[in-house]
């Protein structure tokens, strides 16, 4: 750690003046009267805002909201219901900055944007950086998009339209077009002078891109390297040549994995001919990582977008689809049970025990599937190690199957008959092994077929584990002569 | 975007020399003979490495691995099996840099560290930044830790020991102690001069922390602000006073949420008395975000750590625990079925249909639970909006329940009897509503009890949906007089 300097020689007359208080006290953001210990807005605070909104006391609302950080204003809007959101936005118009808009949940933002006039949206769009502006309008109807873009300045409009020309969730759509690119021939000192002269630089950047005369990236300089290097050193002697270049059509998930793998803060985006056209920065990436990693649990459970701010009709339509598919797979299981109807009539214990075999098999399959889906998503399970992992999961399944078989076998033997204990134990081992294999192979196969393993695997794995559970148990019961 | 400068006046004699080639060509990292289109190592490449290892041809192994980025060497080690990992490490000792070690999967790293002598590990530890060094040794036995620390230089040892004194997964354990902190009285020019004079600065930093004489943070400066500001301006006029301070005992999940919410690149960590003791940087945070967000799917499915590199006995012990719990919940369902044994004997159609009600209820519950767990994890579902979300999920459940009830009701009426159709339709609606409520209320209740909702919810929700499915269907069948 660099020790602070306490040398009085460094005293600068500037700081003799009282420091300008340009914001709330640092400690305000945590442990204040508005936030709980996990930095969420307190219910009591929300109640006061709601109360003031109901009374129509705009002044009180403004005073309550004014000290909040833009990200917290976005949170506040998300926590309110639809009606209160509109009322709040009206009461705090000048606090509804582009930062608040950029931080809003997609559904809430879309909802609020649809309620505004195109001119009002255009004013917001112009304040935003390209990537945030694109995010704001990309989900609106084409007609609304055109109406808004018509109100935006030509230069901004061109940038937004060029971003919208790229497919959703690709680097071209998400990248920021504002970046600092300089030619190879500069020294550190010339670069600093150049930066000081510029008026229209991005407000924050973390890296300087060095380009050749064709505007192809040849290296990058972290700002810290520039700040710690004497003025007369050439940029080419400071910069790193080995950089990660992101082709403009790369999917966001891929971009996020590159940032994680190579610990990037920002990276150059290049077009088909290798020209530098934009940059991705890590602050955008953290949202993508969180979204992509969190998505798996929602997709695997069939909860679609799974956002609590999603309109109810959308939540219904994405979830019911999966429930109907599940109805189909449950029917397959029912057919198998129906085929053994006579056996069940003779020995009702079969009906009592059969859900256990199916349920535990289902769980074993879900465990393996979750592991496989995460490993595929993080590029850990690839063609290069598939069989090693299948073998690994098979061994885990054998251990799990043996353990559960012993427990359920002994219990069943004691309550019913020893033979039924043997039958259920065997069925259990078979089903857990089948589930383990299905849990890893089904996602792997979907991945090979270029399908998202998280979306489609559950239906198939559930069908396999349910059907196999009933079939193995009832089939073994008949085959063993328990019922004849 | 800042246009590149092509002014010949900027020509610097330095660059007339041939540029130093200090790494592979930028484009090498993607689309080369070793990586596939998703930037994963190709199976063919892996086969050549394995082949060379088997032949014991260390030279060939070295030539194959040498062009790789450290993160790719880490990937390569993870893809190999245990035996080959050791052989590879021996063949490429001087490529096994601290960067490779830092990028390794926890399980693989622990495994490899245990195979090395304490002195060898100590040499690696000294090359690492504190946070990476701590990560390397925190999972080792206390005895191994002591043996390694005894070999480490006193200064590094003190830093590592102080980190280990904080609980795992807190800011104190994870933070980097290397940072740049300067007093308030500096100007931009003095700061740059100071940075150029320092020899022992962190290799990369993104922010300068300004501290008062008690070493309390008073503001931060992004490096881009410093580079774009004239030398004579006071730091206090450039810095931002409103900064996010992270108390040293904050959980990593909380830290990750702050970085996401406030779009941070780095942030100051302060101790109990408010002194600046370290910083968290976003490159560490991306790993935490990915881990925390991806964890939910593994926890909800009962797959424990869910890492494909986890030793088999650990995978077995964490998964079998949940399967045994599931055996318990399945028994509850069995008891309910057993109570209706007589009815099933009379009408075997009940045994055929009952798994459908339980299975679809289970899925509806899992959908809602996944949504609730994600919303809680991302601070979107809080005390302030719980009842609005419960009401929302209830309405989605009503719509889902009605849809599925109509489908299954009509189908059952056609295949069996109209009365059985009515019974199963009613049971379906009841179970989907109960599942929807359980899916959101169970995680919320666990969260209120300070339990991780992702860990414990599944067992309870499954038990509720299974039992309620069988009870509603069989109970209604008896109550309706279908069987008497």
Task: For A412-467, write each residue's pLDDT tens digit.
Answer: 999 999 999 999 999 999 999 999 999 999 999 999 999 889 888 888 999 999 99
Smallest CA–CA distance from A321 into chain B, residue = B400
Domains and CATH numbers, chain A: 23-174 (1.25.60.10), 181-300 (3.10.580.10), 312-479 (1.10.357.20)
Identify whether the C-beta of residue A447 lies closer than 8 Å to the C-beta of residue A375.
no
Which of B206, B285, B330 faces A360 most closely, judged by CB atoms? B330
Identify whether the C-beta of residue B320 lies closer than 8 Å to the C-beta of residue A400.
yes
Identify whether the C-beta of residue B439 lies closer than 8 Å to the C-beta of residue B366.
yes
CA distance B141 to chain A (A): 25
CA distance A416 to chain B (A): 12
Nearby residues of A275 by Cβ (< 8 Å), 6 or more positions away: A214, A215, A216
Predicted pLDDT at B18: 35
Predicted pLDDT at A290: 85
Do the Cβ atoms of A4 and B182 come within 8 Å?
yes
Do the Cβ atoms of B308 and A265 come within 8 Å?
no
Smallest CA–CA distance from A11 into chain B, residue = B185
Do the Cβ atoms of B24 and A242 come within 8 Å?
yes
Identify whether the C-beta of residue A337 lies closer than 8 Å to the C-beta of residue B355.
yes
Do the Cβ atoms of A294 and B195 come within 8 Å?
no
Task: For B14-56, write each residue's pLDDT tens digit.
Answer: 333 333 334 344 444 444 788 888 888 988 999 999 999 999 8
Predicted pLDDT at A338: 94
Q: How many CB atoms lie within 10 A of CB B376?
A: 23
Q: Is the alpha carbon torsion for A299, A303, A304, A305 positive or negative? A: negative
Which of A14, A183, A195 faces B4 most closely, judged by CB atoms? A183
Cα gap B180→B177, rounded to integer Å: 10
Best CA proximity match to A103, nearest among A281, A280, A284, A290: A284
SS3 state at A292? helix
Do the Cβ atoms of A105 and B228 come within 8 Å?
no
Predicted pLDDT at A8: 34
Q: How many CB atoms lie within 10 A of CB A333?
A: 24
Do the Cβ atoms of A2 and B243 come within 8 Å?
no
Task: For B116-167, write each residue's pLDDT tens digit.
Answer: 788 888 888 888 878 888 888 888 888 888 888 888 888 888 888 989 999 9
Low-confidence ranges of chain A (pLDDT < 70): 1-31, 203, 484
* Residue B317 with chain A: CB contacts under 8 Å: none
What letter does residue A272 receive in the DSSP assignment? T
Which of A241, A312, A371 faces B306 most closely, judged by CB atoms? A371
Q: How many CB atoms lie within 10 A of CB B432?
A: 31
Which of A228, A236, A358 faces B15 most closely, judged by CB atoms? A236
CA distance A101 to chain B (A): 13
Which of A15, A27, A301 faces B370 most closely, judged by CB atoms? A301
Predicted pLDDT at A356: 94
Do the Cβ atoms of B286 and A287 come within 8 Å?
no
Smallest CA–CA distance from B470 into chain A, residue = A355
Low-confidence ranges of chain B (pLDDT < 50): 1-31
Predicted pLDDT at A29: 44
Nearby residues of B456 by Cβ (< 8 Å), 6 or more positions away: B446
Nearby residues of A172 by Cβ (< 8 Å), 6 or more positions away: A163, A165, A166, A248, A249, A269, A277, A278
Tokens 């000081």 locate to: A196
Q: How many CB pairs under 8 A join A and B?
A: 533
Smallest CA–CA distance from B401 into chain A, residue = A320
Do the Cβ atoms of A2 and B198 come within 8 Å?
yes
Q: What Å distances lie between residue A132 and A125, B35, B94, B268, CA to CA?
A: 8, 32, 44, 27
Smallest CA–CA distance from B247 into chain A, residue = A30
Cα gap B191→B446, rounded to integer Å: 50
């Amino acid at each position: 750690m660099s020790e602070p300097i306490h040398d009085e020689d460094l005293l600068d007359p500037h700081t003799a003046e009282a420091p300008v208080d340009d914001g709330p006290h640092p400690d305000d953001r945590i442990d204040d009267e508005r936030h709980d210990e996990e930095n969420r807005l307190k219910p009591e605070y929300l109640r006061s805002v709601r109360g003031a909104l109901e009374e129509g006391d705009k002044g009180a609302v403004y005073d309550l909201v004014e000290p909040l950080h833009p990200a917290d204003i976005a949170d506040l809007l998300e926590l309110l219901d639809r009606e209160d959101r509109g009322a709040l936005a009206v009461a705090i118009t000048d606090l509804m900055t582009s930062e608040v808009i950029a931080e809003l949940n997609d559904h809430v933002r879309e909802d609020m944007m649809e309620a505004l006039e195109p001119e009002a949206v255009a004013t917001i769009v112009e304040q935003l950086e390209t990537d945030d502006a694109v995010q704001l309008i990309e989900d609106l109807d084409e007609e609304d998009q055109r109406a808004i873009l018509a109100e935006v300045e030509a230069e901004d409009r061109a940038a937004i339209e060029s971003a919208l020309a790229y497919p959703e969730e690709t680097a071209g759509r998400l990248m920021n077009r504002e970046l600092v690119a300089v030619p190879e021939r500069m020294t550190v000192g010339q670069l600093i002078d150049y930066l000081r002269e510029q008026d229209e630089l991005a407000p924050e950047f973390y890296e300087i891109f060095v380009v050749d005369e064709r505007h192809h990236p040849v290296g990058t300089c972290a700002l810290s390297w520039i700040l710690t290097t004497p003025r007369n050193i050439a940029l080419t002697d400071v910069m790193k040549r080995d950089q990660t270049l992101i082709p403009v059509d790369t999917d966001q998930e891929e971009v996020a994995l590159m940032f994680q793998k190579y610990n990037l803060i920002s990276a150059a985006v290049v077009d088909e001919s290798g020209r530098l056209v934009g940059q991705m920065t890590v602050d955008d990436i953290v949202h993508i990582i969180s979204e992509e990693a969190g998505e798996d649990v929602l997709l695997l459970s069939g909860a679609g977008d799974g956002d609590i701010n999603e309109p109810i009709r959308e939540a219904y339509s994405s979830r019911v689809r999966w429930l109907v598919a599940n109805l189909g797979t449950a029917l397959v299981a029912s057919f198998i049970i129906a085929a053994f109807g006579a056996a069940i009539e003779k020995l009702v214990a079969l009906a009592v025990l059969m859900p256990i075999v199916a349920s535990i098999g289902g769980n074993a399959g879900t465990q393996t599937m979750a592991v496989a889906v995460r490993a595929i998503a993080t590029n850990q399970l690839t063609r290069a190690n598939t069989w090693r992992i299948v073998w690994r999961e098979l061994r885990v399944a054998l251990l799990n199957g043996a353990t559960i078989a012993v427990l359920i076998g002994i219990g069943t033997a004691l309550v019913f008959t020893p033979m039924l204990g043997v039958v259920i134990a065997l069925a259990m081992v078979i089903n857990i092994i089948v589930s383990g294999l299905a849990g890893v192979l089904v996602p792997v196969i979907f991945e090979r077929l270029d399908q998202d393993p998280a979306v489609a695997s559950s239906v198939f794995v559930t069908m396999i584990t349910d059907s196999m559970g009933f079939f193995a148990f009832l089939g073994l019961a008949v085959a063993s002569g328990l019922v004849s």
